[in-house]
Structure 1
Amino acid sequence: MDPQDLLKLVSQSMPYGKYQGRLLADLPGHYLAWFARQGFPRGELGRLLALMHEIDHNGLNALLTPLRRQTPGY
Structure 2
Amino acid sequence: MGLGVCIILIAVGAILTFASDWEIEGVDLDLVGLILMAVGIIGTAVYTSILRRRRMVVPPTTPTMTDDDRHGLH
Bin for the TM-score computed over the shorter chain = under 0.3
TM-score for both structures, normalised by structure 2? 0.28
* Greater share of residues in helix: 2
TM-score for both structures, normalised by structure 1? 0.28
